[in-house]
Structure 1
Amino acid sequence: MRFLFVSGGSAGAVFPITPLAQAARNAGHEVIVGATENVMPLVAATSLPGAPITSRTMFDFMQRDRHGRQMSIPADPHERNLFNGRGMARLALGSMEGLVPLVESWRPDVIVGGSLSYAAPLLAHRYGLPWVRHALNMGEPVIIDLAAAAELAPEMEEMGLSALPAPDMDIELCPPSVRRPDAGPAQFMRYVPFNTQRALEPWMYTRGDLPRVLVSAGSRISADYEPEALSALVEKVAGLDVELLIAAPQEMADALGKLPDNVRAGWLPLDVVLRTCDLLVHRAGGNTMLHAIVCGVPQLVIPGMPKQVGMSARLADYGAAIMLTAGKDDAPDNVAKACRELLEDPAYAARTRELAAEIASLPTPHEVTQAIVDMVRGRTAA
């Protein structure tokens, strides 16, 4: 069977779908991952075949409207969610340039799209193919889907659609206990951490004498995109008596300059390093959040985008994290206080381990691959 995975334009869109794509390929199926050209090196690092579907980046589509006019990121949280949905819809339209010829020449049997890859349902409808929606994190706000549908309204009308086609299967990665309350029926799948690797050093898989705290501002930060986010986080935890690990693209880590002896910075293999940590401090990236749960690590989350607030709040309400609001209650003193509470109160680690056990009980990517095969065959037989 041929699986076409439609991803987006960042590590956060590529990494969560990788375990299922690898499982499908390991089961003997043919797999191609379609994504923006700039993330093809990331796809190649997964050892999966990748096809570039547009030469433009995700940020190109986010920051410019259909007419090429520059757009600014809204400050209002509701408007920011609308902005995200419309931008991802424009990415879907731009991706058709590469996806249509790929589908017509390769003829996949099923399309698997990341939850914000709106090209997947449009392609599935156009070619009469089954499609699977694959969660990327613990659940995006519904308003993002509605904004995407509004942006795609002219194209959907031409296709005879009044709404985005519903998926034939909805794959959920979120542990049931912290799932969005309004989420519908789904095929649950065990979250399997994936990230690019580097040669391991002994300190990466062993603990030291001090509590170990890992700080991450996300994989997207660069000299051109929110460069201050990393240094701001680091400054807020620098006064703690801990061993501090800073996960960042190497060029951003280098920009931090000379670091104290108890601090290490650079691109880290999180699936290995997180298992040696006592606390994760980050900006609520969905992939990073699930990584930490699997590794049993409590979290201090400071959402960098409005769409991350809901999942962060659910994790905090469950007792596996503390959430602070960026620009409101994330002053250095509050961050340090929250870190100390998370490190000293064992209840946070215990609740995190409960969620980790819940994830471990869910179907594996191999089992979900077979469920997709059965769904496609059943649909064909009908």
Structure 2
Amino acid sequence: MARIVLNTWGSHGDVDPALALARGLRARGHAPVLAAPAFYRDVAAAAGIASHAVGPEFDPTDTALVRRIMDRRRGSEVLLRELLLPAVEGAFAELDAAADGADLLVSHPATFAAPVVAESRRLRWASTVLAPLSFWSAHDVPVLPPAPWLKQLEALGPWVGRAIIGASRLATRGWTAPLDRLRARLGLPRGAHPFFEGQHAPALVLALFSRVLGAPQPDWPAHVVVTGQLLYDAAHGTALSPALEAFLDAGPPPVVFTLGTSAVLASGDFFPESLAAARRAGLRAVLMVGRERLAEFASANADDAIAIAAAPHSQLFPRAAAVVQQCGIGTLGQGLRAGRPMLAVPFAHDQPDNAYRVTRLGVARTVHPWRYRAARVATALRALLDDPGYAARAAQVAAQVRTEDGVATACDAIEALLRGEEPPAARAGGAP
């Protein structure tokens, strides 16, 4: 039995995969510990997982903060420069305490103290990425929210991707000064750039997404295992409410409108426009508006629409005609598995890149938030539902996604690492 500390940070889309992995490890006889903000203590306990509070503290229901973080142009900068990196000293102290007696530390792209703890303790370390964007591949250039048009230059060759990534590295290296000071205090060298190669463990990188979203590239780091999605949504309920069940049974499959657990706090006119769009297109609607706005939309409940706070995506999405969503990786993974056409409305961070990938797959169309108006959305929904190619392709992709067992694959790789073996299905970096 190994004591394995899983360090994560962010919204439920970040924490739920760690809980899925922790549950898988526990089922194999290990002792996993979730190292995450104290906000998730009860969530971990409900999943049967021990936890240790590791900051910075973050309340994902803090509307003002989440709106700043979800800003398309500056959201990532706010997240990194104002919230995560200034708190890295405290996060290091808390995670270092959590790592006492650990056999392995598993990190998340936003847990910048984790590589430092692993290095200072000489502790085995595995890293994770939740979305393809985190690999920053010159061969599969990510869509960057402040400048999405740069993706179009990819056709000129990998040299363009390398230039884009190089410029991004230079522009952000000064942001990491708090981390540099921590490493210097501990007598460690400055280290690799933590937003780029510095986030990846040398022995094992777990890519917690489906291969349909991103195939291995020649410049990915060594020892990557693409596991498939790790899905866990019991924190959002274990059953659909009687009112929602009754609505679903009363008519044809509806369109589900959701912005996950973060963008929902920056929803603006999304839900009023969504309701108007559904009615304009002659479609029924489920509006997942969040607890904060549920009373505001009580009047929307009718034969053709229902407003709810939340519901487990794994149970609701398969009963939808289509899913309109923000393309956070957790929501996206449930959408792909459900096999329903999607309308992508990406806000910030990895969401525009994820939206590009599902549109490229042929299972989605995209309407950007600043263009999200009822007439345009109604037209996009009719295009999705009137063209049988979208439904057929969504079913085809879902069949592939369902063959992937993300939890088992990740657990196999971790156990191989603990035994000192090459992880199964690992792909070395460099040319294929």
User: TM-score, normalised to structure 2's length?
Assistant: 0.75
Match of 1:254 among 295, 309, 325: 295
The one-letter code sitting in structure 1 at the alignment partner of 2:392 is A
8 A contact 1:3–1:112 mirrored in 2: yes
Aligned to 1:272: 315
1:179 aligns with 2:179: no
Name the CA shift for 1:72/1:214 in 2 (closer, same or farther; >3 Å): closer
Aligned to 1:161: 190
Compute the displacement of 1:295 (Å). Answer: 0.9
Residue by residue over 1:275-330, the C-alpha shift from the partner in whole angstroms, topping out at 9 and shown as x without a partner, is 11111111222110111001111110111115321121121012111112221x33
8 A contact 1:88–1:148 mirrored in 2: no
Aligned to 1:374: 416
Aligned to 1:89: 85
Aligned to 2:118: 124
Aligned to 2:153: none
Aligned to 1:67: none
In the alignment, the residues of structure 2 paired with residue 29 and residue 306 of structure 1 have an alpha-carbon distance, to the nearest angstrom, of 33
In the alignment, the residues of structure 2 paired with residue 60 and residue 273 of structure 1 have an alpha-carbon distance, to the nearest angstrom, of 23
Aligned to 1:114: 108
Aligned to 2:268: 228
Compute the displacement of 1:184 (Å). Answer: 4.5
For 1:331-346, what aligned pairs fall within 5 Å after superposition?
Answer: 331-346=373-388
8 A contact 1:137–1:287 mirrored in 2: no
In the alignment, the residues of structure 2 paired with residue 281 and residue 252 of structure 1 have an alpha-carbon distance, to the nearest angstrom, of 18
The one-letter code sitting in structure 2 at the alignment partner of 1:322 is R
Compute the displacement of 1:41 (Å). Answer: 2.6
Name the CA shift for 1:320/1:238 in 2 (closer, same or farther; >3 Å): closer
For 1:1-382, what aligned pairs fall within 5 Å after superposition?
Answer: 1-54=2-55, 56-57=57-58, 77=73, 79-86=74-81, 87-104=83-100, 107-140=101-134, 142=136, 147=172, 150-151=175-176, 152-158=179-185, 159-163=188-192, 164=194, 165=198, 166-167=200-201, 168-179=203-214, 183-184=220-221, 186-195=224-233, 196=235, 197-201=237-241, 204=245, 208-220=250-262, 225-226=265-266, 228=268, 230-232=270-272, 234-239=274-279, 240-261=281-302, 262-264=304-306, 265-327=308-370, 329-378=371-420
8 A contact 2:130–2:329 mirrored in 1: yes
CA RMSD of aligned residues (A): 3.2
Residue by residue over 1:14-39, the C-alpha shift from the partner in whole angstroms, topping out at 9 and shown as x without a partner, is 11222211100011100110111122
8 A contact 2:208–2:230 mirrored in 1: no
Residue by residue over 1:349-372, the C-alpha shift from the partner in whole angstroms, topping out at 9 and shown as x without a partner, is 222223223323334412421321
8 A contact 2:327–2:355 mirrored in 1: yes
8 A contact 2:9–2:37 mirrored in 1: yes
SS in 2 for 1:56: coil
In the alignment, the residues of structure 2 paired with residue 169 and residue 9 of structure 1 have an alpha-carbon distance, to the nearest angstrom, of 22
SS in 1 for 2:410: helix
In the alignment, the residues of structure 1 paired with residue 29 and residue 45 of structure 2 have an alpha-carbon distance, to the nearest angstrom, of 19
Compute the displacement of 1:227 (Å). Answer: 5.3
8 A contact 1:112–1:131 mirrored in 2: yes
In the alignment, the residues of structure 2 paired with residue 136 and residue 236 of structure 1 have an alpha-carbon distance, to the nearest angstrom, of 34
8 A contact 2:20–2:232 mirrored in 1: yes
In the alignment, the residues of structure 1 paired with residue 367 and residue 76 of structure 2 have an alpha-carbon distance, to the nearest angstrom, of 19
The one-letter code sitting in structure 2 at the alignment partner of 1:42 is V
In the alignment, the residues of structure 2 paired with residue 220 and residue 376 of structure 1 have an alpha-carbon distance, to the nearest angstrom, of 35
The one-letter code sitting in structure 2 at the alignment partner of 1:337 is T
SS in 1 for 2:298: coil
Residue by residue over 1:46-90, the C-alpha shift from the partner in whole angstroms, topping out at 9 and shown as x without a partner, is 2211221237326799x99xxxxxx9669673x543443434334
Uncovered stretches (5+) of structure 1, i.e. residues with no partner: 65-70
8 A contact 1:36–1:57 mirrored in 2: yes
In the alignment, the residues of structure 1 paired with residue 68 and residue 386 of structure 2 have an alpha-carbon distance, to the nearest angstrom, of 42
8 A contact 2:274–2:374 mirrored in 1: no
Q: Which moved more, 1:18-27 or 1:354-363?
A: 354-363
Compute the displacement of 1:44 (Å). Answer: 2.5
Name the CA shift for 1:375/1:75 in 2 (closer, same or farther; >3 Å): closer
Name the CA shift for 1:50/1:361 in 2 (closer, same or farther; >3 Å): same
SS in 2 for 1:219: coil
8 A contact 1:124–1:131 mirrored in 2: yes
User: TM-score, normalised to structure 1's length?
Assistant: 0.84
